[in-house]
Amino acid sequence: MKSFRTASRRRTTIGLTGVALVAALAASACSGSSGGSSGGKQTLTITGQYSGPSSNTLVNWWKAAAVEFKKTHPNVTVKINNIVTTSESTYYSKLDLLERSSSTSPNVVYEDSFLVQSDAAAGYLAAMPQLKNFSEWKALYPTFQKVTEYNGTPYAMMTETDVQQIYFDKSLLVKAGLPANWKPTTLNSILTAAEAIKAKEPGVIPLWVYTGTPLGEASSFRGFQVLLLGTNSRLYDQQTGKWETGGPGFNQVFNFLATLHKDGLEEPTSDWSNPNAGTVLNTQLMPSQKVAMAIDGSWVSTQWLPGQAKPWSAGFDTYSVADLPTANGQAPGVTNLSGGWSLAIPAKSSNQSLAYQFIQTANSPALLAKYDAVSGQLPVEGNVAKNSIFTSGISSDPLFQEAVKYAATTNYRPSFGPYNQLSTDIAAVTGQISLGQLTAAQAEKTWAADVRKEAGAGKTEG
């Protein structure tokens, strides 16, 4: 009996130890809240993406904003808690996971504009109706007021954007018999130029177009959607509220991409399938004059400035930029599409009013002008674009200066509902075209099936 009782007591001990251990683990899993206050002192956490030294511009902007913020909020310490990854999709999913719980949610987040509506629909972001009274929000170009709106209410404050252009190597085009001030007027005129380059310079990539899933959104955005906007077709019909399963514009763009593959006018698979394709293009292939034309964002040339990823001063003479033409040259003659980033407040942020005040500080024109200039981002409002800090900051980059004016008239993506899946589907279709697995006609069929599946019954047309 005695031994049994001892064993039973010991058993209780073990049981209790087990319970204590589990409790301790649970407690440690639940601690680590990111924002908060103790003894009048407060901490405000802000989370963005850190993808290497080029992200220092972001960190420096927030540090400058924190210094400014300290003047009016002496008890607040701003803590920058970035997610370290070179992959944007990893950043998006990690950020979403952080925003799901109040124990991990930052106070302020740096959101890609194309995720704002879907994160608002998810309930991750706090509505910011007060933005409508904020002077800098009122000064935004209308596109950038709309892009972060969900159900008529803004959910984020846009800070920067980009536009799409064709970069072309003047000397390579001249060798192929094209003028140094080349101006494409239709999609076909781009194909004609590419054919001429291929015929005269076999070792050169005639036209770089992002394609396939490795760079997902980039392929969908700069490899397809901006071109589609140059036709009369749209991804989403604002009037009817339905997603398009196809149409003449889809047909024309898919044909353009299929011709690039069929005639060997685009970059080889080993280049586009590299997850670092963007960096390879901007900092290796373009500087070694291996690419005649490239459809890319407006920040490309800023990487060639002194102290940036690939200092290459000759680049500003070697390359020139042209506007992306509409498909058949129809009015307005130019097509464009913009993304960009914003500052938002998670719904589970522990101090939303403080977070809002910080966003206001960070968006003061002087701070934003400096950040936009050094990071190669386009201002989303006139106050910043005209600010002397910005204009003098970009004075040594003539290619980038060309792009500034387009921010006022650009378009944005229908980034709500099934957009994220549809965008991945577009990237996959472009990749399959580039692998020769789909013809233009098959690509149209695949797209139609994708749209019907993702958007659901009654939400599609065409």
| Unique residue bearing structure tokens 């500003």 | 316
Least distance in angstroms from the C-beta of 260 to other proteins = 16
How many C-beta atoms lie closer than 10 Å to residue 78's C-beta? 24
Which of 89, 148, 111 lies closest to 342 in space, CA to CA? 111
Residue type, 205: I
Q: How many Å apart are CA 173 and CA 177, to the nearest integer?
A: 6
CA distance 286 to 69: 41
Q: State the nearest-atom distance from the C-beta of 176 to other proteins, in Å.
A: 25
Nearer to other proteins, 57 or 434 (CB): 434
- Nearest approach in angstroms of CB 14 to other proteins is 6
Q: Which is nearer to other proteins, 51 or 118 (CB)?
A: 118
Residue 297 to residues 27, 155, 424: CA-CA distances in angstroms? 46, 25, 19
Q: Min. distance of Cβ 435 from other proteins in angstroms?
A: 5
Burial class, 188, CB count within 10 angstroms (exposed 0-12 / middle 13-18 / buried 19+):
middle
Helices (H) and strands (E) in the chain, counts: 21, 17
Which of 151/392 has CB closer to other proteins?
151
CB of 47 to other proteins, least distance (A): 16
Pick the closer one to other proteins by CB: 78 or 440.
440
157-160 and 83-84 beta bridge pairing = unpaired
Q: Is the dihedral of CA 191, 197, 200, 204 positive or negative?
A: negative
Buried b (16+ CB within 10 A) or exposed e, 354-392: bbbbbbbbbbbbebbbbbbbbbbbbbbbebbbebebbee
Query: One-letter amino acid identity for 149?
Result: E
In the complex with other proteins, the residue whose CB is nearer, 26 or 441, is: 26
Query: Least separation, in Å, of the C-beta of 273 and other proteins?
Result: 4
Q: CB 384 → other proteins: shortest distance, Å?
A: 29
Minimum CB distance to other proteins, residue 41 (Å): 32
Cβ proximity to other proteins: between 68 and 96 the closer is 96
Residue 227 near residue 191, CB atoms below 8 Å: no
Whose tokens are 């509506």? That residue is 117
Q: How far apart are CA 217 and CA 309, in angstroms?
A: 22
Q: How far apart, in whole angstroms, are the C-alpha atoms of residue 58 and residue 376? A: 11
CB of 321 to other proteins, least distance (A): 28
* CB 153 to other proteins: min, Å: 16
Instruction: Give min distance, CB of 318 to other proteins, in A.
Output: 22
What are residue 45's DSSP bridge partners? Answer: 79
Residue 15 or 36 having the CB closest to other proteins: 15
Nearer Cβ to other proteins (121/334): 121
Please report the beta strands in 32-170, taking only residues with DSSP state E, as ranges in sequence order. Answer: 36-38, 41-47, 49-50, 76-80, 83-84, 108-112, 149-150, 153-154, 157-160, 164-169
Cβ distance to other proteins smaller for residue 114 or 390? 114
**C-alpha to C-alpha distance for 111 and 132, rounded to whole angstroms:** 19
Q: At 226, give phi and psi (nearest 5°).
A: -65, -35
How many CA atoms are closer than 13 Å to the CA of 211, on its beta-carbon side?
Answer: 26
Nearer to other proteins, 3 or 239 (CB): 3
**By C-alpha distance, which of 288, 324, 323, 322 is closest to 304?**
288
Q: Which is nearer to other proteins, 347 or 359 (CB)?
A: 347
CB of 245 to other proteins, least distance (A): 18
Which residue ranges make up the site for other proteins (CB under 8 A)?
Answer: 3-4, 6-7, 10-11, 13-15, 17-19, 21-22, 25, 89-90, 92-93, 96-97, 100, 115, 118-119, 121-124, 212-214, 216, 269-275, 417-418, 420-421, 424, 428, 431-432, 435, 437
- In terms of DSSP bridges, do strands 341-344 and 108-112 run parallel, antiparallel, or are they unpaired? antiparallel
- Smallest Cα–Cα separation from 139: which of 154, 122, 120, 158? 158
Q: Which is nearer to other proteins, 7 or 314 (CB)?
A: 7
